Amino acid sequence: MDLKHILSKLENSSEEDAETLLQQFNRENSRTFTFEKNEETLRSKLCQSVLTILQRRVRPRYQRTCLETLRILSRDKRVLAPVATKDSILLLGGLARLHGGHNGDDNQNSTHEDDRSEDEEKVVVEALKCLCNVVYNSPEAQQVSVDVQLAHGLCASLSAARTWHHEVGLFTLRLVFLLSALRSDVRGVMKREWHAVRLLSEVLEHTLDVRWVGPHEAASPDPQASPMPADDNERAMETLKALFNLTLSSTGGDEDDRQFRVIAAILRHLLMLKTETEEKTEEAHSHAVNLLNNLPVPCLDVLIDVPVQGGQEKYGGKNMDAIQKLLDFMEKRIDKGSNYKEGLTPVLSLLTEGSRCHREIRRYIKAQVLPPLKDVKIRPEVGSTLRNKLVRLMTHVDMGVKQTAAEFLFVLCKESVDNLLKYTGYGNAAGLLVARGLLAGGRGETQYSEDEDSDTEEYKSAKPFINPITGHIEEPMPNPIEEMTEDQKEYEAEKLANMFDKLSR
């Protein structure tokens, strides 16, 4: 559709005709994400024309059409100058019902969501979508958003989360995520002044329908319950992403620690929930792992300390269901065989630090990953057990993956070089030992409790015959000189002497 034609018509047509024209543009470009460079000026003018119409406070249906046009145009970062102004951001913030800061008083958000017409609801959603695009694509708009305290309006909106319709909630959370990801200064203000971490925790708690049975213990999900609805799952994922940004650099303190323990308890509940598909469950677990990595390690005791639901006596009465979910998630990520750096290392790091800090977690994981050795005729890296898979990662080409996997196994062995070599062989462990300066043996620096497991009889009887380099019993090699004549032996001896001479020189 010709942009010059649209611009000329917008200036001289009635509201109805202009709306019809923009609707046609929206239909034709709903899936357009790349734009002609030679029409940048015209698209920028169209942005300005649409903003001018919106400033006139036209009826909601026309507002919605204008915002749809602006949303399509805002996919092009080169035409956003008219939108990246204080007046435009305030206008969009007002249409999105984000009040607070320079948008006015918190009480201005007077229209309850349930009282809005469908068109008014769509106006709010489209305005939020526009703000998401504009903030993502324009550093200038990001700065203006900071200047007008858009984040304050977002936090005020978070406090009304229980009344949200799905899309309003989804795009409010997405905007919180974008602003907190792109502006570290906004993160600090949102945490300190507007209590965004607490507000987002409450959003997550409400979305996941958490029912508390103890200070940091959510009621166990009903095994017969339906999977989490898709809308709830989608909002929960956006909340987790925003919380991840806001907890990236936490200074701690009593209030923070209390809030972190609440978050850990909600994440434990999330790990136990079913979603509609295995893929969505894996996505939820991935975001939960990322967020758990941001929490102080002592808070991870919340994952296993659930008195009402009870635990296993051999692990001090602690409940290991959540840890098993994390182990299952880790194994799935290993089995995928790709994107280890982003997909696998976070859960390995989480389980490593949890094992280092919490004795019961380490004991449980050790029993699953490194059970007492019995069969030592096969190399440690050969096979389909979790131990075999992790030992293979110790020689991975990616240095980060290799180090993280080795560190995980080292901590499970209580940072004892002898124990590590028993399960992995010297060849697989050499990289870690060099990096830690432990080639000659010894222990890492962390203090652990006394050993609670012992070698099996099978391992004890086989130990003298295990090759320490490969970590398994090798078949006896044939004597290479047995079939040689005396002349051949003499020739090989001279060859060896020459090689030693060359090496010494």
Confirm if 153 and 124 have CB atoms less than 8 A apart. no
Give tens-digit pLDDT for 174-212.
999 999 999 999 999 999 899 999 999 999 999 999 999
373-388 pLDDT, tens digit each: 887 778 888 899 999 9
pLDDT at residue 26 above 60? yes
Q: For the domain that residue 81 is a member of, what is the CATH number?
A: 1.25.10.10
pLDDT of residue 280: 94
Q: Are 318 and 312 in contact (CB under 8 A)?
A: yes
| Nearest C-alpha neighbor of 291 from the set 259, 318, 320 | 259
Domain boundary residue, one of 286, 303, 320: 303
| pLDDT exceeds 90 at position 322 | yes
Same domain? 294 vs 167: yes
The two structure tokens encoding residue 493 = 């001896």
Contact criterion met (CB below 8 Å) for 128 and 185? no
207 part of a folded domain = yes
DSSP output for 288-335: HHHHHHHS-GGGGGGGT--TTT--BGGGTTB--HHHHHHHHHHHHHHH
Residue 72 lies in a domain: yes
303, 324, 354 — which closes off a domain?
303
Query: Which one, of 350, 354, 446, 326, lies nearest residue 404 by Cα?
Result: 350
Is 234 a member of any domain? Answer: yes
Full residue range of the structural domain in which residue 21 is found? 1-100+119-148
| Same domain (yes/no): 141, 200 | no
Q: Please, what sign has the CA dihedral across residues 132, 44, 51, 81?
A: positive
Residues 218 and 171 in one domain: yes
Q: Are residues 162 and 252 in the same domain?
A: yes
Question: 96 and 162: one domain?
Answer: no
Pair 169, 142 in one domain? no
Residues 49 and 143 in one domain: yes
Task: Tell me: do 196 and 228 sit in the same domain.
Answer: yes
Same domain, 51 and 142: yes
Same structural domain, 240 and 138? no
Look at residue 297 in the predicted model and tell me its pLDDT. Answer: 94
Q: What is the pTM of this model?
A: 0.86
The domain total for the chain is: 2
Does residue 276 lie within any of the structural domains?
Answer: yes
1 lies in the same domain as 47: yes
Do 163 and 283 sit in the same domain of this protein? yes
